[in-house]
Structure 1
Amino acid sequence: MNTASKEKFISESTKFALAKIFNYLDPKVRQVLENQIIEYTVNNALNFSLIKTILHKDNVNLAQIYQPLTIKHKTNDGTFLIDDFKKFIENHKNISLIASGGSGKTTFIKNFYIKCVKEGYKIPVIFNFREFNQFQIKKIIKDKDITENYVFIAFTQHLLFNKIGIDSKTIEKMFDSGEFIFFLDGYDELDNKIKTSITKDFQDFVTRFNNNRFIITTRPYTSANYLDNFSNIYLSGLEDFEQITSFIHKQLYNNPSFAESIIATLKQKSSKKYLEILSNPLFLILFINAYESYPNIPPKKTQFYWQVFDALFEKHETFSKTGYRRPKLTNLDREKFEKILHTFSFISYFDELFIFSESQYEAIIRKVLTNYKYRVNPKNFLEDLKVSISILVEDGKLLSFIHRSIQEYFAAKYVDILSEDDKADFMLQLAKEQNSIKGNHTFLIELISELYPYEFKKYYIKAHIEEFYDNKEFYLTEHDNLSGYDKVFDGFENFKTILSFSKEFQKLYIDFMKTNSFTNENINIIVSSRNHQQLKLAQEILTLYENKELFYLKMSSFIKDLDESNKPILKFAFRGI
């Protein structure tokens, strides 16, 4: 890394921010820390400025392929682009950046980090929430010193490892300056067993050092939506065809003719109904990656994942300089390879291992291989996942899927291996977890609804609705504050989203709401509605509760019709017996 490259990232503003920090410190440590902080932030910015993607196996400059994304407030009409990031942060101070998987949250904050360094806006520190999963977390302690706070400990260890600060007291004084901006990525990847503890410590940390700025990222419907004094900002993805076109050109900057070919396909009338799916940057990248093999747009998300895996598995080329194509080291047929991969993904997903060490990988994979009695070298299988197929990436000593949603897709595929009874049991347990404080499986459930529509409608929806009625206290009892009711409305919105994964059941639900009402108003939930949308949700909640027996009859009839519809197929299949 040359001096000229570093100097481009250092501004007078950076030195001004450092001067304010050093007002809190002993002058003796100023010179050492100044150099270390500049080295740390600039090195990070330079690292983040180079990126590998599914389309770019070698490093490419982030600025060359970065597409600014539209953002919005849920309570405001309209969307907007950030044209002045300093003003944006100052207006909101603390931000929860919310978007579904594949929307570009991580890339968004890396781009923000680079801007902070280039423009000298505070001292940026970036951290992944999933790193807390490696901590030994004890029970919540209501009142404890800041040095016992797990978030403070994590940042202190991180900075001391990078030779910033002398000890925790020095770093505490630095944080008191208010000249830091903290980026915390992937709140939804926190282990559920520690989520409550880490969330409390994070809020205490923000309160203690409230002159700093904080940006966190999360998927929808997590506790991060309700943090005190945080603005919820939603990434909208690629808003229109113009943004989709711009994104394709940027990704394929070195192959404009290929970009034009893809855009011509998307302009076709038959493609227009799929543009909503392609507004998700990850799905658009997957489509680009598989385009040569599959130029037609698949109608379902699971088909996207199948196409990209098929393209990688069958046609991925890892050539040496002599043109030799490297074979897969495991030499497994595809059926066995997928069986191992699906099982590994299922176990790691439900163990909440979204990032894992090689020893954690080996512990799971050996169990899988023993169960199937396959004689495969775990290291060879790992090498195939990293090199031949390129769906695992290695960062230092840690491994992860190229995107968490890829792991979810393979985990969903594992369900096919289960017996009918096991599928029913799995759907019941999944519904229980989804409707508890642990629930963050919305995307996995959507994939399952596409892959196994019959089982989803027969088993999952039934269990999902039963969990709604079991959660009466959550929906109808008085909450301490308005944010408590916000959780109720968001929770019910997510509940309805999952029902919509079956279009037939969604119609049944809509028709039921049109023909039924409630009489015994629950004043708490009605009064707590702060807008028309929340009032509508409150009315639907009460309608469901007052008409429970009737709704159960409708649901039972729906499932009975579902089973009856299979009988003609069975008669046809066995007509010659």
Structure 2
Amino acid sequence: MDNPNTYGGKALAGTATESAAKKAGEKAVDRGLNAIIDFVKNKYGEAQVKIGTVFDRYLHNATQRYNQIRTLTTGTMPRRIIGKDSLYVQSGLNHNGEEIDTSSVDSLLQISRNLLILGTDGVGKSMLTRYLFLDTAEYERYVPVLIELRRIGIQLSGELSILDLIYSCMEDFNVDLPKDQFEYSLQLGKYLFLFDGFDEVKSSLAKETAEAIQKFSAKYPNNSFIVTSRPKAETSPLETFTTMESMPLSKAQAVDLASRIWAKDEKTMEFCRQLNEILYEKHKDFAENPLLLSMMFLTFMRNSSIPEHLSDFYKKAYDALYSAHDNQDKGCYRRDFECKTLDENEFKRILSHFCFHSYFKEDYEFSEAEIIRYLQNSLDKLGLAEIRSIDYLTDLRNVVCMIIKDGDIYRFSHRSFQTYFAAYYSAHSLTDEQQKRLFTNILSDGDVYFGRIDYYDLLMQIELDRFAENALECGLRNLIQKAGATQRPDEFLLRTAYDRIENHTSSLDEGHTTNERIFYGVISESSSYYDSNILSLFYRCSKSYYSDFDDITHEYRSNKEQAIKNYVKLILQPEEFRKDGHEFVILFEKIDTTDCITDDERQRLYNLIIEYHWGKGICMRITEWLDKLDMKRALLESPSFIDNL
């Protein structure tokens, strides 16, 4: 690339010449590979160089593997990502409010050679990574290497090596790569390294892993690096990586994907019709996410209707899988269970116990011995030791499709199911005292809490009142007592929860218009993670408790946002704005010490931030909720308490 580090350039679709080359079947990757071979030969001599043969074998074997994928809807039958009857549907990436084409890696690398792609569960980050590997291996002039970052866990903390990780991932494909030749070839800059699944790295290794990637990319800057992750605090050491966000499926993309999931029969066509006419707008949060769209499809096939809430979604999707019939060919045969004596509730109890324990130990993939050990522990704990763990594992794989086997590794068909059943177990099997201790432990660790948001959201949907009492009540009472001793309680709670405000652009709606949003940074190290997380969780809960919470209209927030930005412009110097003024970060500490605004203006700014974020204030909402809780308990003392239940 002539200018690989250009920022803000507009990504363009492939040229006519490139399209013609693709039609002709030209393998542009050979140009990059030949350059690597010649480069290494100059140092080691032609007789000693094996790197060409090795990479031919690697690319062939890896392409065969990465082009086969099994999903919730394909069951045990793998599907292709590219080629005939492919499952893959392209969606864009958002960079500074602009949609970036993902049909070719060149479109992405026009922005930067170091990219961090962020997206929530199920948006297709891993599918995109595989597609980029396959497309690059066939049509681009780079040599792609795909690295599954969860494998970093086999290394020891303090001794992490990205080079060793890359090397081991390549060895999996039956290649004998001379390590010294490979390391020397990195200097040429012909590689595209695709690091998939940073969010699957254990939290204890996450920061160190990010720093190791940063150092590796700095050591070999002529290569290109793409990292995918859920939004996660530990990606912050990737300071030279340009962030992009996965974009949701548009209606057209969602309908296209739905039409590919299953055979094009009458029911598939009916789902696509309803998706196009009604379901996409009605259930947009589900329909714009490929994973949730697949689950919508499954539940529609069984129930001819779609549930409203995410927890109901997972429940019905699981139910559909548990009792599924393979009707691709209208044969409608039922897959037989190995564990014939287990009823449906017992089967779910074992699964939820297994998911709960593996989730909180941050184990997302397993050797056969490891998953058997987990399952045997669940069977023993639940008094079902007569069930063989290997039989239960077979049913998890072949009947309900919760687990898939990839080589010698077992993993969840999608991690979101592990999260849902961890929440299900918490709700249905833990006592109040067990929940309180669990929540206190998690909320006291900021890094761990950050990765549990999906778990908490599901718990709120499953049992909002009980969850709120067990997770929040004690902490909120302490905070309200502290806040009441200050002159400005809401400002005290704002500072407890956050230490800065940030503004950045995002392009999330179907029309890809630019929307600016203000949000708040992580707490300072001198604050309590527990207090901050309690407030953050109550804020999420309060949206469910208060029907008037949406009185914070778009116009109301837009006015507050503009007023906040006007004050910030008075405080920050022009060079402190990033990307042409579309993004800024300002610490409360700077607001407190600046001479650019008066004390009255300073207080007005804090009031605006509070109103923008919490509307009529957080102290009042907390107090109202605690009062209602006290009233509910007082009614239990009434002789006619049954009437109040």
Q: What TM-score does the superposition give when structure 2 sets the normalisation length?
A: 0.74
The Cα shift of 1:200 comes to 1.6
User: Does the aligned pair in 2 maintain the 1:10–1:42 contact within 8 Å?
Assistant: no
**1:51–1:62 contact (8 Å) kept in structure 2:** yes
Distance 1:8-1:70 versus aligned 2 partners, 3 A rule: closer
**Residues 353 and 425 of structure 2 are in contact (CA less than 8 Å); yes or no, is this contact kept in structure 1?**
yes
Given the alignment, which residue of 78, 91, 94 partners 1:69? 91
**How far off its partner does 1:161 sit?**
5.4
**1:574 counterpart = 2:642:** yes
Tell me, what secondary structure is at the counterpart of 2:447? coil
What does 1:349-364 align with in structure 2 at a 5 Å threshold? 349-364=359-374
Candidates 345, 349, 354, aligned match of 1:339 = 349
Given candidates 430, 447, 451, the residue that maps to 1:440 is 451
Of 220-229 and 357-366, more deviation after overlay is shown by: 220-229
Which of the numbers 437, 443, 446 marks the counterpart of 1:425?
Answer: 437
Contact 1:362 1:378 in 2 (8 A): yes
Q: Confirm or deny: 8 A CA contact 1:125 1:182 kept in the other structure.
A: yes
Inter-partner Cα distance in structure 2 for 1:462 and 1:121: 58
SS in 2 for 1:293: helix
1:258-407 equivalences under 5 Å are 258-267=267-276, 269=278, 272-316=281-325, 325-375=335-385, 376-407=387-418
Superimposed CA distance per residue, residues 116-155 of structure 1 (whole angstroms, 9 cap, x where no aligned partner): 01113311111111101122223xxxxxxxxx75111212
Letter of the 1:17 partner, please give it. G
Between the aligned residues of both structures, percent identity stands at: 18
Corresponding residue for residue 469 of structure 2: 458
Return closer, same or farther for 1:463/1:192 CA change in 2, 3 Å cut-off. farther
- CA shift, 1:455, in A, is 2.6
Q: Is the 8 A contact 1:105 1:217 kept in 2?
A: yes
Equivalent position of 1:15 in the other structure:
30
Seen in structure 2, the aligned counterparts of structure 1 residues 422 and 330 have a Cα distance that, compared at 3 Å, is same
CA distance in 1, matches of 2:23, 2:54: 17
- Give the alignment partner of residue 105 of structure 1, picking from 116, 121, 125: 125
Deviations 1:147-180 (A, max 9, x none): x751112123333554656543222101111111
Residue in 2 aligned with 1:203?
A: 214
Closer, same or farther: CA 162–371 of 1 in aligned 2, 3 Å: closer
Partner of 1:184, secondary structure, is strand
CA distance in 1, matches of 2:368, 2:569: 51
Separation in 2, partners of 1:156, 1:471: 47
> What is the rounded CA distance, in whole Å, between the counterparts of 2:570 and 2:204 in structure 1?
30
Q: Residues 317, 20 of structure 1: CA spacing in aligned structure 2 closer, same or farther, 3 A cutoff?
A: closer
The one of 180, 184, 193 aligned to 2:204: 193
Q: Which amino acid aligns with 2:398?
A: V
- Contact 1:10-1:117 within 8 A present in 2 as well: no
1:477, CA displacement in angstroms? Answer: 8.9
RMSD: 4.4
Structure 1 residues 10 and 129, CA, compared in 2 at 3 Å: closer, same or farther? farther
Structure 1 unaligned regions, length at least 5: 1-6, 139-147, 480-485
Alpha-carbon distance between aligned partners in 1 of 2:639 and 2:322, rounded to the nearest angstrom: 38
- One-letter amino acid of the structure 1 residue matched with residue 365 of structure 2: I
Check conservation: 1:476, 1:525, Cα contact below 8 A: no
1:133 aligns with 2:153: yes
Structure 1 residue 424 displacement after superposition: 2.4
CA drift at 1:523: 9.5
User: What does the per-residue CA deviation read over 1:9-39, in whole Å, with 9 as the maximum and x for residues that have no partner?
Assistant: 9845323212321213423357632122012
Q: Distance in 2 between matches of 1:568 and 1:279?
A: 45
Deviation digits for residues 276-314 of structure 1 (CA, Å, limit 9, x no counterpart): 321111011011122222221111111111111111212
AA partner of residue 425 (structure 1): R
Give the aligned partner of residue 558 of structure 1: 625
Q: Which residue of 2 aligns with 1:215?
A: 226
Please point out which of 228, 240, 246 is paired with 1:229: 240
**1:205 offset after TM fit, Å?**
0.6
Residues 122 and 529 (structure 1), Cα distance of their counterparts in 2 relative to 1, 3 Å cut: closer
Q: Is the 8 A contact 2:307 2:313 kept in 1?
A: yes
| Aligned counterpart in structure 1 of residue 46 of structure 2, from 3, 8, 28 | 28
Alignment of 1:513-528 (within 5 A): 527=572
2:289 and 2:91 mapped to 1: Cα distance?
Answer: 10
Shift of 1:409: 0.6
For the Cα contact (< 8 Å) 2:189–2:220, is it kept in 1? yes
| Cα distance change on mapping 1:124 and 1:458 into 2, 3 Å | same
* Cα drift, residue 82 of structure 1: 3.0
1:522-560 Cα deviation digits (max 9, x unpaired): 999974676688679966699669x9xx84464132133
Which structure has more helix as a fraction of its residues? 1
Whether contact under 8 Å (1:102, 1:283) holds in the other structure is: yes
